[in-house]
Structure formats: C-alpha cells, structure tokens
Amino acid sequence: MSLLLRKVRVVSEEGPPSGETDVLVEEGVYRAIAPGLEAPQGAREIDGRGRLLMPAMFDAHVHFREPGGEAKEDIASGSEAAINGGVTGVVMMPNTTPSIDTGSVVKMVLDKAAQVSRIPVHTSGCVSKGREGREMAAIDSMRALGVRMLTDDGDSTGDTSLLLRAMQYASEFGMFFASHCEVPELAGPRALNEGQVSYELGIKGSPACAEEIIIDRDIRLAHAAGAHIHIQHVSTALGMETIRWWKERGDVRVTAEVSPHHLMFIDEDIGDYDTHYKMNPPLRTRADNEALLEALKAGVFDLIATDHAPHTPFEKAQDFTVAPNGITGLETALVSLHDRFVSRGELGWDVVVKRYSAEPRRMMGLEAVPVVEGGTAEFLLFDPAAETTFSRDFMQSKAENTPFLDKTLKGRVDLVALAGEVLLER
C-alpha cells in the first residue's frame, strides 16, 4: 500500500516542526519527503494540511493485567487503547497473577500478544519470585526470551541484599532494573500525599520521603553493582533532584521517567474524595509539578511513561481509602500533553517526541523511528486544532478510571500507522 501525505508538518526530536511538505510511504518505508511530490499510480493521497506527522509513541510502563486481572484490562484491549492514543509499542509490568517471574510466564504473555495485539508488546520480568522480595526470580530463563527490564513494580524490592545480587548477576547480560520507589512502612495506606489536603480530608498521607529514600537507595545499589537503574514514575521535586545529582556525577547509569498525571494534577484536585485522582505514588503539590516539568525540559527525565493502570468502575467506586490506586493513560497522554503544555507554549513537540517516542525505544534496545527518507514508517497524524472527548464510547480500554472521562481536550490523533499499515483513522 502506498500513501502520499500532502502538506504535513514533520515533527522530530531535533527541533520545531518543519514547514509544509509531502511524504510518500511505500512498502512501509518513507520513500520521499519533499514539497510537491508526484503521486505514484495507485497511491492513496491524504490531505494533511494543518496536521503534524510525527513518530508513533512508545510507552515503557503499562499494566495490561494479563494474566489474572482480565476484568480490568487484557493484552487485546490494552493494545487497542495504545493505538487509540498514538502508541505503537509498550512494555508490560510484571505485577500480574501469577507474576511474570519465569520464562514460562513470559512465553505465555508473548504468545498471547502475538495472537491478539496489532502492535509489539514487550514485557518486563520480576526481580524476585512473586515480587515478594525473598528469592531471586528465574532471571536467565526470562532473558532468553528477550526480557531486558527487571522490576518488582507495584512495590520496591524489599531485600536490599537480594536486589544488589540480582543487579550484579543480570547486568552481565545487558539487563537493567526499574524501581518503584517506596518505603512501605512510611507510605501508609498509599492514598494521597501527606500534607494539608490529607489533613483536611482526615486520611493518613504518604510522605514524599517514602519515595525519595528508595530513589537514593536503589541508585546507590546500582552504583555499587555497575548496573543501569531506571527510576519509575517520579513524583517529588527532591526525588528529581536526587536523580539529577547522581546523573551529574556521571559514574552510574541512571534513567528516569515522569508520568503525565504527575505533571498535570495535584493533591488538591482530589476534592470530595474523587478516586480518579488516587494513584501511587500519589499526586503531590503544585511546586512538585512545576519542578518536574522543568526537569523534563532540562533532560533530567529521559522518558514520559503513563503507568497505565486500569481498574473496574466497581473498584474505583469504593471508599477512597480502600479503592485501588491507578489511572489509565494510554489514550489520553498525547492529547493531554498537547492540551495542557504544548498548546500553551510550555513544552515543545520535540521534547514530547524525544521523551515519549525515541528514548523509550532506545532504553529497550530498539531503534527510534524518525520521519526520514529510508526510515520505517511508524507514525501518527495529529490535528492540534481539533478536539477529543474522552467518552466511554471513544475509549478502547476496558477501564475508565481517568480524570479526563467525559472531558473535551484540545488536539486529536487522526491516524496511526505501523510499518506503513494504517491501524487507526478518524
């Protein structure tokens, strides 16, 4: 199939969008990029005026709940939600039931993904058996099936000695470690940030130091082991500053991610116990958000990742203290980043493409997918002047636990293609 995209503006990680140009896609490859291209016989032409052509996104932190939690989400619905948001590759977290802690479970997940998903689905593996922090997981059998990321996400790895030994062992094979940073004894019920809002709502909060202590601990362990450590979903300014300090030292490989919700929402948004704003780590303060956004622009954060965490409406309708933590993000991330930051001049498209498309792929040992002649045509078309209403009918995820439910935001993903095949078109 040949596609000729007319008068699009190309977005890259290198700088602002280009002027209007034509882009010819043939056999899944960008054959030519120039104004005024002649359409080959049989090519389908798409009017791209006013729209942006950019590499498709890649999300390195999602929860598809399969195996064991298919009522919340499964690989089929999760991957369709990804496509709906302009994402053509994901990395699943291993806190499933059973946990993804052996080669046999990895194979089960990857085989299912090959059957039901229209996009590549990668999976991480556990550091410890059952994520219990007591015994090392079957790391080598997972590595043999392509697992690169090891994490006990959902919790920190409890046994420091075990984590150090795992780092020393697995780093020899090019694997790296991703850390959910939380001291459970300090985090309490994990309901919301400890501060004025938790006091007013009468709920015990989780202090920022519960996260910050483990950020420093795990980077120090990686330093000792010579390992690559990736810090997940950072929510506090001081935690970010710790990461910056270690990066500036330059003697340990540290990467880090920030989630859109920790840039956009604060603890005050919880209002009258709205569980759509309950997540882990919890929403912090406006000062934290502002510091995280500046750190994203400065490159302290390598990745944007959604921590897509679906739950059933019944679960989220429970009392605030017992409702599960989590927010969906695959379908809302790109549009909300545009609505809240790009359209207001607070963030450039180059930052979004670098941090939510190129760098996540590179961290996973994959090639980035820039829009360049000869490159693989894995892209999306984005209309910044259109709007998206995140209704239940619009969303492909089984879950609807997002603060954006039934809200209309500026921007729309109009087309998504993988290797030149159109996966979505509005």
Token readout for 74 is 């499964």
Return d(Cα 58, Cα 213) in angstroms, integer: 29
Q: How many residues are listed for the chain in this entry?
A: 426
Tell me the three state secondary structure of residue 411.
strand
Region for 194 from its dihedrals, namely left if φ exceeds 0, alpha if ψ lies in -120 to 50, beta otherwise: beta
Write out the H or E segment, with its range, that includes residue 412: strand 408-418
Residue among 385, 371, 390, 357 nearest 87 (CA): 357
Q: How many CA atoms, within 13 angstroms, populate the side-chain half-sphere of residue 356?
A: 35
Residue 289: partners with Cβ closer than 8 Å, 6 or more residues away: 262, 263, 264, 265, 266
Q: How many CA atoms, within 13 angstroms, populate the side-chain half-sphere of residue 182?
A: 21
**Beta strand extents in 155-295 (DSSP E only):** 176-179, 228-231, 253-258
Residue among 298, 210, 213, 180 nearest 248 (CA): 298
Active site residues: 307
- Would you list the DSSP string of 291-345? HHHHHHHHTS--EE---B----HHHHTS-TTTSPP----TTTHHHHHIIIIITTT
Q: Helix 75-84 vs helix 103-116: angle between axes, to the nearest 10 degrees?
A: 60
What is Dmax (Cα atoms) for the chain? 68
Peptide bond into 67 cis (omega under 30): yes
Return d(Cα 55, Cα 130) in angstroms, integer: 36
Q: Helix 160-170 vs helix 208-225: angle between axes, to the nearest 10 degrees?
A: 40
Token readout for 42 is 């049989």
Q: How many CA atoms, within 13 angstroms, populate the side-chain half-sphere of residue 280?
A: 23
Residue 407 CB burial class (10 angstroms; 0-12, 13-18, ≥19)? middle
User: For residue 59, what are the CA distances in angstroms to 78, 90, 225, 292?
Assistant: 12, 5, 27, 19
